[in-house]
Amino acid sequence: MRAKAPRRGRGRFPASVYERGGEPDPRFSLANERTFLAWIRTSLALLAAGVALEGLALPLQPQLRLAASLLLVLLGLLAPAQAWAGWARDERAMRLGEPLRSPALAAPLTAGTALAGVLVLLGLLLR
C-alpha cells in the first residue's frame, strides 16, 4: 500500500502563501528566506543605532540627536514589516510563476536613513 502524498500547503504557515500555486525550486525559496533574514538584520542594526545614539549621549545638539534616534528606531520597527510582507509576496509570486516586485518600503527606509544621517551631521555642526 502506498503512502498518501501530503496535501499542498497543509500545516504550513501562512496558508495564504503555501496553499497557492506549486512548489518553486527550493533554492529560490531559500534565497527568499535569506532576504527576509537580511531585512531582520537591518532592523536590528537600525534599532541598535537609534538606542546607541541616544543612550551614549554623544556630543550632538540634543534635539537633533533625539530626532535622529527616534527616526532610526521607527525605521527599525518598519523593517520587519517589509521583511514579512516582502517574503510572503515573493514566495507567493514564485509559486504562481509571476514576476517579483521591488520592496515596497525600500524607498522610505532609504530616505529615512539618509535623513537620520543628515540630522546627526547637523547635530555635530550645531553643538
Give the structural domain span for 32. 22-125
Question: Considering the domain boundaries, does residue 43 fall inside one?
Answer: yes
Question: Considering the domain boundaries, does residue 73 fall inside one?
Answer: yes
* Residues in Cβ contact with 22 at an 8 Å cutoff, skipping those fewer than 6 apart: 8, 95
Number of domain units in the chain: 1
Assess whether pLDDT exceeds 50 at residue 110. yes
- Asked whether the whole model's pTM tops 0.75, one would answer yes
Question: Considering the domain boundaries, does residue 77 fall inside one?
Answer: yes
Q: What integer pLDDT is reported at residue 12 of this predicted model? A: 85
What is 20-78 written as a DSSP string?
A: SS-PPPHHHHHHHHHHHHHHHHHHHHHHHHHHHHHHTT-SS-HHHHHHHHHHHHHHHHH
Mean pLDDT for the chain overall? 91
C-alpha torsion angle, residues 70, 82, 40, 18 (rounded to 10):
150
Question: Considering the domain boundaries, does residue 4 fall inside one?
Answer: no
Question: Considering the domain boundaries, does residue 13 fall inside one?
Answer: no
Question: Considering the domain boundaries, does residue 9 fall inside one?
Answer: no
Question: Considering the domain boundaries, does residue 26 fall inside one?
Answer: yes
Mean pLDDT of 84-107: 94
Q: What integer pLDDT is reported at residue 104 of this predicted model? A: 87
- Amino acid identity of 76? G
pLDDT in tens, 36-81: 999 999 999 999 999 999 999 889 999 999 999 999 999 999 999 9
Cβ distance 37 to 11 under 8 Å?
Answer: no
* Residues in Cβ contact with 93 at an 8 Å cutoff, skipping those fewer than 6 apart: 99, 100, 101
Question: Considering the domain boundaries, does residue 90 fall inside one?
Answer: yes
